[in-house]
């Protein structure tokens, strides 16, 4: 499975990606709003194992993809889509801080919407972020997802209860957006 955007190759993980993933996954700033991390080497190795294991599952419900810069061939982050309920998917993304602010998260997330709606035939795609994670909320808004609400104290990790903002996009909204961007 491989997706291609203007600047990125979004592809399956291999064991060779472990060091490049650990480089960002062990970073405290990166893990600040995540339910995981900062990772130990063992935790990163176990993430890679799980990502590879997903590739073999039938039916396949989980996709974690490595995001690579086309020009440099360098792995800069991860994005994924998980089919939690029938015809619905949850997306997520995480990038090396050295690469923040260049549109890569938005480009990857948009590719995930295309994959989810056009290849997997989904009806609804959603995502959550911690309310303080302004960058992530902006990515969701930028790709056409709509704010659904504020989930209060709904998940517990790192010893605390956390709130989330939830966003989603439906198949007809995506179709309209895809049509509009083709017209421009
Ligand atoms: C959140 C994250 C994915 C954003 O990635 P990115 O590649 O910098 O995002 P983009 O460059 O596509 O930015 C999209 C928009 O958000 C804005 N933005 C990004 N980070 C921001 C921040 N920290 N504060 C305010 N705005 C921010 C960008 O300026 C851009 O807006 P614009 O198009 O109007 O200029 C990245 O910071 C990250 O990997 N963080 C750690 C992991 C994480 O939190 N993942 C999300 C979990 S829900």
Question: Would you give the distance in Å from CA 83 to the centre of its chain?
Answer: 13
Q: Kindly list the domain boundaries of the chain, sorted by start residue.
A: 2-183
CATH class of 2-183: alpha beta
Contact criterion met (CB below 8 Å) for 129 and 142: no
pLDDT, tens digit, for every residue of 74-96? 999 999 999 988 999 999 999 99
Q: Which of 38, 90, 138 to mutate to test the pocket of ligand 1 (most atoms within 8 A of CB)?
A: 138
Ligand 1, atom 22, lies closest to the CA of: 135
Pocket of ligand 1 (CB under 6 A): 30, 33-34, 92-95, 100-106, 129, 133-136, 138-139, 142
Q: Which of 36, 69, 101 to mutate to test the pocket of ligand 1 (most atoms within 8 A of CB)?
A: 101
Copy the structure tokens of residue 61. Answer: 């419900």
CA 127, 66, 139, 125 dihedral sign is negative
- pTM comes to 0.97
Atom nearest to 138 CA in ligand 1: 16
Copy the structure tokens of residue 164. Answer: 């989330």
What is the pLDDT of the chain when averaged over all its residues? Answer: 96
pLDDT score, position 179: 81
Copy the structure tokens of residue 66. Answer: 């490595």
pLDDT, tens digit, for every residue of 97-155? 999 999 999 999 999 999 999 999 999 999 999 999 999 999 999 999 999 999 999 99
Atom nearest to 94 CA in ligand 1: 39
Lateral strand order in the sheet of 146-157: 2-4, 8-12, 62-69, 75-85, 88-95, 124-129, 160-170, 146-157
Does the structure show a pLDDT above 70 at 16? yes
């Amino acid at each position: 499975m491989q997706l291609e955007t203007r600047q990125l190759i979004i592809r399956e993980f291999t064991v060779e990606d472990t060091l490049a993933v650990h480089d960002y996954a062990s970073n405290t700033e990166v893990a600040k709003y995540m339910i995981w991390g900062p990772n130990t080497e063992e935790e990163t190795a176990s993430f890679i194992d799980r990502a590879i294991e997903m590739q073999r599952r039938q039916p396949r419900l989980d996709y974690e993809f490595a995001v690579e810069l086309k020009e440099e061939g360098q792995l800069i982050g991860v994005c994924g889509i998980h089919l939690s309920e029938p015809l619905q998917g949850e997306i997520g993304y995480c990038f090396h801080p050295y690469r923040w602010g260049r549109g890569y998260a938005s480009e990857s997330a948009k590719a995930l919407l295309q994959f989810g709606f056009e290849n997997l035939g989904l009806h609804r795609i959603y995502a959550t972020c911690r309310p303080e994670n302004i960058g992530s909320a902006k990515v969701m808004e930028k790709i056409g997802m709509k704010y659904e609400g504020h989930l209060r104290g709904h998940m517990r990790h790192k010893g605390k209860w956390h709130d989330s903002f939830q966003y989603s996009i439906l198949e007809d909204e995506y179709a309209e957006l895809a049509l509009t961007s083709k017209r421009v």
